[in-house]
Chain A
Amino acid sequence: QSALTQPASVSGSPGQSITISCTGTSSDVGGYNYVSWYQQHPGKAPKLMIFDVSNRPSGVSNRFSGSKSANTASLTISGLQAEDEADYHCSSYTSSSTLRVFGGGTRLTVL
Chain B
Amino acid sequence: QVQLQESGPGLVKPSETLSLTCSVSGYSISNGYYWGWIRQPPGKGLEWIGTIHHSGSTYYNPSLKSRVTISGDTSKNKFSLEVSSVTAADTAVYYCARVTRSLTGCYDYWGQGSLVTVSS
Contacts and interface: CB of A to CB of B under 8 A. Distances in A.
Interface residues of A, number: 25
- Main DSSP-derived SS at the B contact region: loop
Interface in A49-99: 51-52, 57, 89, 91, 93, 97-99
B112 interface: yes
Interface residues of B, number: 22
Nearest to B108: A48
A104 B48 contact: no
Given A91-B46, A104-B44, A99 B61 contact: yes
Given A45-B112, A93-B104, A99-B59, A105 B46 contact: yes
A58 B104 CA distance: 19
B107 A48 contact: yes
A50 to B, nearest CB: 8
A57 B108 contact: yes
